[in-house]
Amino acid sequence: MKAQVFRGVNQLSYEELPIPTLAPDEVLVQVRVVGLCQSDIKRFVIPSTNHRAFLGMKLLE
User: What one-character-per-residue DSSP string does 1-61 give?
Assistant: -EEEEEEETTEEEEEE-PPPPPPTT--------EE--HHHHHHHHS-S--S-EE---EE--
List pLDDT tens digits, range 18-54. 998 999 999 988 877 777 777 777 777 776 655 556 6
Domains of the chain, residue spans = 2-59
Taking the CA atoms of the chain, what radius of gyration do you get in angstroms? Answer: 13
Cβ neighbours around 6 below 10 Å, total? 21
pLDDT at position 42: 75
